[in-house]
Amino acid sequence: MLTLPRRPRRLRASPALRDLVREIRLDPADYVWPLFVSEKVTAPNPVPSMPGVNQWPLDQLLDPVRQAHADGVRSVLLFGIPAHKDEAASGAYAEDGIVQQAVRLLKKALPDLVIITDVCLCEYMSHGHCGITRQVGDHYKIENDASVELLARTALSHAKAGADIVAPSDMMDGRIGALRAALDQAGQSDTILMSYAAKFASAFYGPFRDAGESAPQFGDRRTYQMDAGNLQEALREVELDVEEGADLVMVKPGLAYLDILRAVKETFGLPTAIYNVSGEYAMVKAAAQNGWLDEQTVVMETMTAFKRAGADLVLTYWAHDLVRWLNKGTL
């Protein structure tokens, strides 16, 4: 009997056939739009290193979010930039803090919008670190437990303002358990915890630190963010956060850590997020502006890679653009 060779190319012969057998499909519901809201600006302030990204004043935040929501963006992630910083990060957990005000504003106008808040202290600390610092000789030390107390206060203030999901990004030890306990004890047990569970010390964060005005004033964050060479440690970090009560887990950054994403998803099976970070965004934007890459095609390919590696949701500055492209059926 004659055995004929299979010809996989037959299934690639037309756009309709390729779409028919596509394994990974992109859904507008998968994308979270990070936003920067600032007490220091009175008009949208473009971030030079992140073309298309602005710092928004509170009184002008609603219009872009309302439009994005109408287009299909279902979730946003809020970062706050206070007018004043101090060494106790008091703006992070103030009842009238910039994030707390933004949550109330958006939730009142768009009650079905999923509002996620970044829970960290770096934007509010005068020194830019993610926790309380203490000088030890010529070096500094992050006071873990004291920092966790402030993080719990911050998360609780966000939940009381109406946040659906609080997302601690600090990488302090034990903070997921502390936040879960604080939320539950205050009657906020329905508030979801999304942990930046495997957050690596990365050069890809540079543009974000411009946007969030959160660069450390001394040292770096390598004593609490993870080393890029460690996969097994990442799995241990995620396991601890899952045991302490995380509902969702995140890997950050994105493209250089797809192996971490795959391992986390396969090991734990929880809803898993990936953060398509500022440096990844800025590189593609710069290349596209120079005519070296087609932005939309590259972004779609990147998002497919995240989904293929196991991401259930993607935090990306392209979220609004993505839902518009997907609504047009553009792949």
Along the 331 residues of the chain, how does pLDDT read in single tens digits? Answer: 566 677 888 889 998 988 889 899 999 999 999 999 999 999 999 999 999 999 999 999 999 999 999 999 999 999 999 999 888 899 999 999 999 999 999 999 999 999 999 999 888 888 767 778 877 766 778 888 999 999 999 999 999 999 999 999 898 899 999 999 999 999 999 999 999 999 999 999 989 888 876 777 666 777 778 899 999 999 999 999 999 999 999 999 999 999 999 999 999 999 999 999 999 999 999 999 999 999 999 999 999 999 999 999 999 999 999 999 999 875 5
The per-residue pLDDT for 243 is: 97
Beta pairing partners, 81: 38
Cα separation, 251 vs 265, whole angstroms: 10
Handedness of CA 215, 50, 252, 327 (dihedral sign): positive
β-strands 139-142, 165-168 pairing: unpaired
Q: Which residue has the tokens 């394994």?
A: 23
Pair of tokens at residue 254: 């994105």
The per-residue pLDDT for 129 is: 75
Q: How far is CA 151 from CA 172, 180, 277, in A?
A: 9, 11, 22
Pair of tokens at residue 32: 């979270």
- The answer as to CATH 3.90.850.10 being correct for domain 24-327 is no
β-strands 45-46, 54-57 pairing: antiparallel
Sequence-ordered alpha helix ranges (H) in the chain: 15-20, 62-71, 90-93, 98-109, 144-161, 175-185, 206-212, 231-244, 258-268, 278-289, 295-309, 319-327
Active site residues: 199, 252
pTM: 0.94
Cα separation, 231 vs 19, whole angstroms: 34
Pair of tokens at residue 117: 């808040």
Closest CA to 47 of 169, 213, 201, 216: 213
